[in-house]
Structure 1
Amino acid sequence: MLNFLRGAMLAVEPMNFVANLKYMGLGMLGIFIVMGVIIGVTLLTNTIFSRGDEEEEDN
């Protein structure tokens, strides 16, 4: 049983983590860019379709 647990454990190498920080940063940047695009499209759609509603309410 203990031999199985030793074989299942992964070797942790800190330099691999440091080397992968670049890829993690690029992934987070991509997520923020996609979120920004979604927010921008939502705001643009809101402003386009709410202009007609405001004009109808004023009359």
Structure 2
Amino acid sequence: MNMANVEIALEIMGKGMGGIFVAIVVIMAAVMVLGKITGNRKDKEEE
């Protein structure tokens, strides 16, 4: 096993994990913003 290949693989894996983390944060932020925009409305049917 060549250490240069391992370093390259770790770099690619790190970029992939970072991309997944960023995507999750963006989705969480979008959900929070939409939750604040729409608010907590209560319909008569829900009571």
Q: Is the shorter-chain TM-score for this pair beyond 0.5, marking a shared fold?
A: yes
Report the TM-score when normalising by structure 2. Answer: 0.74
Number of aligned positions between the proteins: 43
Q: If you compute each CA radius of gyration, which structure gives the higher value, 1 or 2?
A: 1
* Structure 1 or 2: more helix by fraction: 1
Query: Pairwise CA RMSD of aligned residues?
Result: 1.8
Unaligned residue ranges in structure 2 (runs of 5+): none
What percentage of aligned pairs have identical amino acids? 14
Q: Name the CA shift for 1:52/1:58 in 2 (closer, same or farther; >3 Å).
A: farther
* Structure 1 residue ranges, 4+ long, deviating more than 4 angstroms after superposition: none
